[in-house]
């Protein structure tokens, strides 16, 4: 495993030092990070189309980051991925993720989002990256709770359409040799293990359909995030190190009662302030040979982002596990075939 790294999306702003990629990268390096995950929708960070078309631009982008003391870990198209599949109920809400020219035009907005994913595949390959972060979008999410009763075949039709939209994108990532890692996230049709399995079956177990593992979203669903690793470790290609807490009470539970984040029973917290068992997570990921990045995604309803970032790098570093080069009991090992037979009573 590599790290610590940090996702820049929640930090970029119009104020220094987070108003340009070089200054943001330097700040993160000084805070102890060695990698940055880069949002592709933020023009302060990069020009995605140019990155897809120009190796020189990608080399310059990577060089700028190296000079600042970090490397690019992955690119993100979370917002564009969301727009690959949008239920009409969310059209107005999600229009803000798209350029002005395609707002209010769902078909054109979707076409723009699909093109963005194709560009991201090429840009990731030019940057020498192994994985890419995105959302799946959602067609069935308004029908999550079955009341009124869902008509027979509704969910199957939704996932068939989702697969139809994503299959050409997955093929494009296959052509570039890059894994597409869906963040399993409420609000997306891929929000838990069962829904990921539905999608995986619908895309014929496509080798590039993989997982961005973020335990915070499992805590808020009361899902066993450690067993999730046992079940899906072969598909986990990215890791957001993000904390959360779930404290249900007599007034509110998992649905949150339309309350704002600070008053919800389920809340995202800065690293170490929540309930996530990161020792268990890092142990399991190490056990299964995860060799990607450990990336802080800072989201907290209480703490300032800069404080969360400064605390996050040493927190991740303290949880990193360097695997041994030999077994702990090798000092007592023996390899005499004759002894083995004698011990078994065969000679």
pLDDT in tens, 325-344: 777 777 667 778 888 888 89
Domain 2-344 class?
A: alpha beta
Say which residue the tokens 């030092």 belong to.
17
> pLDDT class for 275, splitting at 50, 70, 90?
very high
Quick one: pLDDT at residue 339? 87
What distance in Å separates the CA atoms of residue 181 and residue 239, rounded to the nearest whole number?
A: 10
| 17-44: average pLDDT | 98
Quick one: pLDDT at residue 297? 98
Q: Domain segments of the chain: what residues?
A: 2-344
| 95-117: average pLDDT | 98
Residue 301: which residues within 8 A CB-CB, separation 6 or more?
Answer: 260, 261, 262, 267, 268, 269
What distance in Å separates the CA atoms of residue 38 and residue 336, rounded to the nearest whole number?
A: 54
Quick one: pLDDT at residue 109? 98
| 149-165: average pLDDT | 98
pTM over 0.85? The answer is yes
Between 16-20, 49-53, 180-184, 329-333, the lowest mean confidence (pLDDT) is in: 329-333
What phi and psi, each to the nearest 5 degrees, are found at residue 84?
A: -65, -30
Say which residue the tokens 């209480």 belong to.
302
């Amino acid at each position: 495993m590599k790290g610590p790294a940090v996702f820049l999306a929640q930090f970029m702003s119009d104020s220094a030092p987070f108003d340009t990629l070089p200054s943001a990268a330097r700040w993160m390096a000084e805070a102890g990070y060695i990698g940055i995950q880069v949002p592709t929708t933020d023009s302060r960070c990069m020009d995605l189309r140019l990155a897809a078309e120009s190796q020189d631009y990608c080399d310059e982008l990577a060089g700028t980051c190296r000079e600042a003391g970090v490397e690019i870990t992955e690119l993100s198209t979370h917002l564009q991925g969301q727009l690959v599949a949008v239920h009409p109920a969310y059209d107005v809400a999600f229009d803000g993720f798209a350029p002005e020219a395609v707002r209010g035009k769902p078909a054109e907005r979707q076409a723009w989002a699909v093109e963005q994913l194709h560009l991201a595949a090429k840009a990731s390959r030019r940057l020498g990256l192994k994985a890419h972060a995105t959302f799946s979008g959602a067609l069935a999410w308004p029908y999550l709770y079955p009341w009124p009763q869902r008509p027979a075949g509704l969910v199957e039709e939704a996932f068939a359409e989702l697969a139809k939209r994503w299959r050409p994108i997955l093929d494009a990532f296959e052509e570039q040799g890059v894994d597409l890692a869906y963040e399993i996230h409420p609000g997306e049709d891929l929000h838990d293990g069962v829904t990921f399995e539905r999608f995986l079956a619908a895309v014929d177990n496509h080798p590039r359909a993989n997982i961005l593992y973020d335990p915070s979203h499992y805590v808020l669903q009361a899902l066993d995030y450690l067993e999730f690793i046992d079940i899906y470790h072969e598909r986990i290609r990215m890791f957001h190190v993000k904390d959360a807490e779930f404290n249900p009470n007599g007034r509110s539970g998992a649905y949150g009662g339309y309350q704002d984040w600070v008053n919800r029973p389920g809340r995202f917290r800065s690293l170490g302030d929540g309930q996530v068992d990161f020792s268990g997570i890092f142990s399991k990921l190490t056990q299964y040979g995860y060799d990607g990045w450990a990336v802080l995604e800072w989201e907290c309803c209480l703490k300032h982002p800069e404080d969360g970032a400064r605390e996050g790098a040493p927190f991740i570093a303290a949880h990193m596990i360097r695997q041994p080069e030999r077994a702990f009991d090798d000092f007592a090992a023996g390899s005499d075939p004759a002894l083995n037979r004698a011990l078994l009573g065969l000679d």
